[in-house]
């Protein structure tokens, strides 16, 4: 009986092993090789990592100076959205969750494109403001700027943050909150308790996902960010016009290591809020 | 108290509006006649749709997207359902650990997944094409299928199967005549989610497709060169495919977050 269950899982595990584990081991090996006259040479050296760390310090700083705030802001807004949907809006709450699910499937590229048309010089915000004579010249700081990039990221990631936190909040009873208030808890006490204790898995999952996805993105910076370059914008061309797989692989692993370290630190800090 | 409720409603409305308006705008501007997406809208028109349907590559991109989406849904719903049935009979701890590990590809940046797969396929001497895109998409659609079907299977009533077995049905017959009809809606729902995820994917497709195009890679090419509203028309088609399949999926599986 037990063997049969493992047999059922085998195809899924096979897909995971052959298309994820093997390629990643190979990808790691590539990061240790080098390239000579457009040919991969099997080698063992850490030169690529040295380059990845020292030549791109500024770009890594750039990437994380945007993706850490994005992950934090998205997680907080996502929590607040789920809180409103769960406790404050009655019937409208299920519409809010439906809207979150629709935007989740609303297309990655199309969302970026939509923000490009909303924020541009001849875009929707500027054209409305000019139409109502609120401004004379289009506001040019909207698109190709840090602000525009952050807005686009937060919008794209919000559904991924709302759904896990809402799932945790569903388990919370209104009576719990009411009795906290009866015992003299302030508004922010309740929020703090919900955010750090009842939703801790959802909140952490949201932060982890947002950080990994933002720091590894390169399409949004390319289309919305203007002069802002993410590390992904340096990695992607190494697999296209600039043939340098080892360099790109080493940069990818460096990026993942940094992201995972940040996640471990945040998870560790979260432990302090645990009353147990 | 009343002010609190009022403020909450305003925030809820503003945030919902922030989430949904970009998507509505894409659809709206696919039906206007101006060359730039901006207000005021003078008149509605279908000219961007005509432009898209006359586009040289549009038909093949649509065909590729549908082929990839359906193949991915077919394979991942079979392997995913099998895995979910198998996992549901294991202890919860083992099952959730396996699920967490299989879900790692969803958490990773698609860029890293795309380039790792690209270098792997090329080194194996595989020719890039629709088949490489299909097997790559399995990596991130399969975990969703397993998750959705597994959450149905843990509430599955096995006494029905036992009765069938007592009445002389073979394990296979019991599975085909009882388990499959019961879990069928959930599996179809999960397959539709897989279609939505696959049709929407851009980055992994971009690296693993080689020379071909799908709807998202066509949109990307058009976005780089110009901002013509015909992009809105293709976007509306992609949105229609992903959102309609996911709405049907959510309705069938009764999944609510």
Residue B257: pLDDT band by 50, 70, 90 thresholds?
very low
Residue A276 forms part of a structural domain: no
d(CA B213, CA B64): 7
Q: What pLDDT was estimated at residue B39?
A: 66
Q: Which residue has the higher pLDDT, B257 or B116?
A: B116
Q: What pLDDT was estimated at residue A151?
A: 93
Q: Which residue has the higher pLDDT, B129 or A122?
A: B129
* Range in A26-40, A104-118, A148-162, A185-199 with the lowest mean pLDDT: A185-199
Q: What pLDDT was estimated at residue A128?
A: 80
pLDDT tens-digit map of A144-203: 888 899 999 999 999 999 988 888 888 777 787 777 777 877 777 777 777 777 788 888
Q: Which residue has the higher pLDDT, A95 or B251?
A: A95
CB B188 within 8 A of CB B252: yes
CA distance A275 to chain B (A): 24
d(CA B221, CA A205): 33
Closest CA to A10 of B34, B80, B69: B80
Residue B220 forms part of a structural domain: yes
CB B240 within 8 A of CB B26: no
Chain B environment of A13 (Cβ under 8 Å)? 83, 102
CA-to-CA dists, residue A90 to A79, A95, A97, B2, angstroms? 17, 10, 12, 14
d(CA B143, CA B134): 15
Q: What pLDDT was estimated at residue A74?
A: 95
Angle between helices A245-271 and A47-54 (to 10 degrees): 60
Mean of pLDDT values over B29-57 = 75
Mean of pLDDT values over A206-234 = 91
Mean of pLDDT values over A120-142 = 79
Mean of pLDDT values over A133-144 = 79
Residue A253 forms part of a structural domain: yes
CB B156 within 8 A of CB B97: no
Chain A environment of B98 (Cβ under 8 Å)? 9
d(CA B106, CA B115): 15
Nearest CA in chain A to B138: A15
Residue B36: pLDDT band by 50, 70, 90 thresholds?
low
Q: Which of A97, A106, A245 sits opposite B256 (nearest CB)?
A: A97
Q: What pLDDT was estimated at residue B40?
A: 67
pLDDT above 70: percentage of residues in chain A:
97
Residue A168 forms part of a structural domain: yes
ipTM of the complex: 0.89
pTM: 0.89
Domain that holds residue A83: 43-271
CA-to-CA dists, residue B187 to B58, B148, B192, angstroms? 31, 8, 9
CB A3 within 8 A of CB B101: no
Which of the 8 DSSP states describes residue B54? T
Residue A2 forms part of a structural domain: no
* B164: enclosing H helix or E strand: helix B159-166
Residue B5 forms part of a structural domain: no
Residue B29 forms part of a structural domain: no
pLDDT above 90: percentage of residues in chain A:
39
CA-to-CA dists, residue B220 to A16, A113, A240, angstroms? 29, 9, 16
Q: What is the number of structural domains in chain A? A: 1
Using the Cβ of B151 and the Cβ atoms of chain A, whether some distance falls under 8 Å is answered with no
Q: Which residue has the higher pLDDT, A156 or B239?
A: A156
> What is the SS3 assignment for B79?
helix
CA distance B49 to chain A (A): 17
CA angle A240, A244, A247 (to 5 degrees): 125
A217 pLDDT higher than 50: yes
What's the CATH code of the domain at B221? Answer: 1.10.3720.10
CB A83 within 8 A of CB A166: no
Chain A environment of B115 (Cβ under 8 Å)? 27, 235-236, 239, 245, 248-249, 252
CB B75 within 8 A of CB B221: no
Q: Which residue has the higher pLDDT, A179 or B199?
A: B199
Nearest CA in chain A to B118: A239
Choose the most confident range, by mean pLDDT, from A124-128, B118-122, B248-252: B118-122
* Range in A23-37, A179-193, B76-90, B234-248 with the lowest mean pLDDT: A179-193
Using the Cβ of A237 and the Cβ atoms of chain B, whether some distance falls under 8 Å is answered with no
Mean of pLDDT values over A103-119 = 85
Q: What pLDDT was estimated at residue A269?
A: 87
Q: What is the number of structural domains in chain B? A: 1
Q: What is the largest CA-CA distance in chain B?
A: 71
Return the residue in B29, B90, B109, B195 with the most chain A beta carbons within 10 A, the one to mutate for interface testing: B109
Mean of pLDDT values over A71-98 = 89
Q: Which residue has the higher pLDDT, A276 or A86?
A: A86
Task: Return phi, psi of residue A152, to 5°.
Answer: -65, -45
* C-alpha torsion sign, points A25, A27, A32, A37: positive
- Residues sharing a CB contact under 8 Å with residue B28, sequence separation 6 or more, in sequence order: B41
Domain that holds residue B163: 50-253
Which of the 8 DSSP states describes residue B254? T
Mean of pLDDT values over A67-96 = 89
User: Three-class SS string for chain A?
Assistant: CHHHHHHHHHHHHHHHHHHHHHHHHHHHHHCCCEEECCEEECCCCCHHHHHHHHCCHHHHHHHHHHHHHHHHHHHHHHHHHHHHHHHHCCCHHHHHHHHHHHHHCCCHHHHHHHHHHHHCCCCHHHHHHHHCCCCCCCCCCCCCCHHHHHHHHHHHHHHHHHHHHHHHHCCCCHHHHHHHHHCCCCHHHHHHHHHHHHCHHHHHHHHHHHHHHHHCCCHHHHHHCCCCCCHHHHHHHHHCCCCCHHHHHHHHHHHHHHHHHHHHHHHHHHHCCCCC
CB B236 within 8 A of CB B26: yes
Residue A200 forms part of a structural domain: yes
């Amino acid at each position: 009986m037990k063997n049969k269950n493992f047999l059922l899982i085998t195809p899924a595990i096979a897909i995971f092993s052959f298309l994820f584990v093997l390629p990643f081991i190979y990808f790691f090996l590539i990061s240790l090789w080098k390239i000579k006259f457009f040919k991969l040479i099997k080698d063992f050296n850490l030169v690529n990592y040295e380059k990845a760390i020292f030549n791109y310090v500024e770009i890594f700083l750039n990437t994380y100076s945007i993706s850490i705030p994005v992950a934090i802001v998205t997680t907080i807004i996502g929590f607040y959205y789920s809180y409103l949907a769960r406790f404050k809006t009655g019937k409208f709450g299920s519409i809010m969750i439906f809207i979150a699910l629709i935007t989740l499937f609303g297309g990655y590229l199309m969302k970026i494109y939509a923000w490009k048309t909303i924020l541009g010089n001849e875009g929707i915000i500027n054209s409305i403001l000019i139409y109502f004579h609120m401004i004379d010249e289009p506001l040019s700081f909207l698109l190709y700027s840090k602000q525009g990039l952050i807005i686009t990221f937060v919008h794209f990631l919000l559904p991924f943050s709302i759904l896990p936190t809402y799932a945790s909040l569903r388990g919370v009873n209104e009576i719990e909150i009411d009795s906290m208030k009866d015992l003299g808890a302030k508004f922010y006490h309740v929020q703090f308790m919900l955010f750090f204790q009842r939703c801790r898995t959802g909140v952490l999952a949201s932060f982890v996902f947002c950080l990994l996805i933002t720091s590894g993105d390169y399409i949004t910076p390319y289309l919305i960010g203007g002069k802002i370059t993410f590390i992904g914008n340096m990695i992607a061309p190494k697999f296209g016009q600039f043939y340098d797989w080892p360099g790109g692989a080493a940069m990818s692993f460096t990026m993942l290591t940094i992201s995972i370290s940040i996640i471990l630190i945040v998870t560790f800090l979260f432990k302090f809020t645990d009353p147990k | 108290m009343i002010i609190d409720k009022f403020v909450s409603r305003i925030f809820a409305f503003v945030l919902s509006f922030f989430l949904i308006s970009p998507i509505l705008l894409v659809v709206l501007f696919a039906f206007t006649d101006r060359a730039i997406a901006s207000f005021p809208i003078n008149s509605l028109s279908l000219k961007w749709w005509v432009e898209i349907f006359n586009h040289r590559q549009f038909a093949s991109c649509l065909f590729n997207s549908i082929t990839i989406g359906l193949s991915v849904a077919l394979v991942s719903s079979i392997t995913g359902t099998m895995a979910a049935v198998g996992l549901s009979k294991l202890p919860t701890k083992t099952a959730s650990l396996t699920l967490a590990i299989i879900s790692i590809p969803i958490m990773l940046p698609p860029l890293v997944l795309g380039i790792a797969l690209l270098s792997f396929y090329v080194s194996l001497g595989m020719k890039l094409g629709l088949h490489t895109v299909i097997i790559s998409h399995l990596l991130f659609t399969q975990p969703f299928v397993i998750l959705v079907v597994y959450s149905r299977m843990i509430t599955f009533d096995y006494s029905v199967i036992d009765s069938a077995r007592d009445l002389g049905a073979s394990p296979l017959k019991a599975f085909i005549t009882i388990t499959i009809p019961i879990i069928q809606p959930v599996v179809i729902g999960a397959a539709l989610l897989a279609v939505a995820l696959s049709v929407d994917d851009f980055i992994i497709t971009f690296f693993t497709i080689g020379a071909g195009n799908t709807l998202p890679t066509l949109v990307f090419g058009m976005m780089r060169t110009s901002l013509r509203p015909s992009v809105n028309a293709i976007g509306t088609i992609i949105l229609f495919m992903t959102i309609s399949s996911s709405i049907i999926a959510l309705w069938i599986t009764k999944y609510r977050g």
